[in-house]
Amino acid sequence: MTANIPLNELGEFLKKRRSELSPRTVGLPETDRPRRVAGLRREEVAQLASISTDYYTRLEQGRMQASAPVLDVLARVLHLDDDERGYLFQLAGKTTTRTRRRSRQKVQPQLQRVLDDLTATPAIVQGRGGDILAWNALAAALVTDFSRVPERQRNYPRIIFTDPAMRTLYADWETSAQISVAQLRMEAAKYPEDPRLIELVGELSLRDKQFARWWGDHHVAARTVGTKTLDHPVVGELVLDWDTLTANTDPDQHLTVWTAAPGSPTHERLRILASWAADQDLPASSPAG
């Protein structure tokens, strides 16, 4: 019986912390569905942490042990400070050393130089999980003004699912969104304990039922080549080939460029878009990121 006391305390601690958080606090949309309890629901915490509701319920009920990586993710989901995080690990009988975290990537100087030279071609540099590390002005004109997106939210899959403008920009939004999910799942397989990836998947699973369904399909895809059709609000239809180049200095960084055949209507419309972007003074990313 005594051995169960820490687990019961752990459960009470988790329950108390989630009761103090609102959906808005963790980036979830408010709904009209009535809440029987204060704060987040168990299933919301579970989805944000990318674990099953049954697993999380057992943790709160003191019926199972949690691994250090799960505790680390729960600490992030529940917005625990350093003292609270240490207490959580102590209750679980785990060492308080932090799970090794990968620092946020910075664009490789070589890729930045290539990006700077691409004035007539939209291009972005993506890092792990689709984080947008750098972009040129024409990419901002083509997709969105990335400088207006907070750095922590500057992630391509996240933008596709949370920015309503993307659903009209992409002529076939569903296919593009499914590809982004498949690419994200490929990334998650490489880094299964990456807290940022786990948090992103959990957030999008709660925010969007289509994301949750497609994530559950377990399709995977690498960033390679393809063709997309965009309905751009300024220049109209654009049929663009996209290609991905990987940096040898950091294989987790990819330069994606959108091009069109010379003489094609899209090629001419890209030139018009470049002129429009110059008039709008849309910012490219700075070398400092």
- Which CATH number does the domain housing residue 173 bear? 3.30.450.180
Give pLDDT, residue 91.
85
Give pLDDT, residue 26.
75
Query: What residues contact residue 48 under an 8 Å CB cut-off, 6+ apart?
Result: 26, 77, 199, 202, 203, 206
205: left (phi over 0), alpha (psi -120 to 50) or beta: alpha
Residue 124 pairs in a beta bridge with: 135, 256
Tokens (6 digits) for 283:
């910012």
Answer yes or no: is 286 within a domain.
no
Is there a single domain that holds both residue 115 and residue 167? yes
Element (H, E) at 229: strand 225-232
pLDDT exceeds cutoff 80 at 103: no
Distances (CA, A) of 9 to 67, 94, 177: 16, 14, 42
Is there a single domain that holds both residue 83 and residue 116? no
Q: Is the dihedral of CA 214, 219, 223, 226 positive or negative?
A: negative
Answer yes or no: is 126 within a domain.
yes
Is there a single domain that holds both residue 119 and residue 255? yes
Element (H, E) at 251: strand 250-259
Query: What residues contact residue 237 under an 8 Å CB cut-off, 6+ apart?
Result: 171, 229, 230, 231, 265, 266, 269
218: left (phi over 0), alpha (psi -120 to 50) or beta: left
Answer yes or no: is 158 within a domain.
yes
Residue 37 banded pLDDT, cuts 50, 70, 90: low
pLDDT exceeds cutoff 90 at 5: no
Length of the chain: 289
pLDDT exceeds cutoff 80 at 143: yes
Residue 3 banded pLDDT, cuts 50, 70, 90: very low
Q: What are phi and psi of 259, to 5 degrees?
A: -130, 165
Q: Which domain holds residue 135?
A: 109-280
Give pLDDT, residue 109.
87
Q: Packing angle between helix 53-60 and helix 5-19, nearest 10 degrees?
A: 120
Is there a single domain that holds both residue 115 and residue 221? yes
Is there a single domain that holds both residue 170 and residue 267? yes
Share of the chain above pLDDT 70, in %: 90
Is there a single domain that holds both residue 212 and residue 83? no
Is there a single domain that holds both residue 113 and residue 247? yes
pLDDT exceeds cutoff 80 at 192: no
Tokens (6 digits) for 208:
């969007």
40-52 pLDDT per residue, tens: 889 989 988 889 9
Mean pLDDT over 255-277 rounds to 96
Answer yes or no: is 98 within a domain.
no
Q: What total of structural domains would you count in the chain?
A: 2
pTM: 0.71
**Mean pLDDT of the residues in the chain:** 87
Give pLDDT, residue 4.
46
pLDDT exceeds cutoff 50 at 22: yes
208-248 pLDDT per residue, tens: 999 999 998 888 888 889 999 999 999 999 999 999 988 88
Among candidates 115, 116, 120, which has minimal Cα distance to 274? 120
Residue 67 banded pLDDT, cuts 50, 70, 90: confident
Q: Is the dihedral of CA 215, 150, 82, 20 positive or negative?
A: negative
Is there a single domain that holds both residue 167 and residue 122? yes
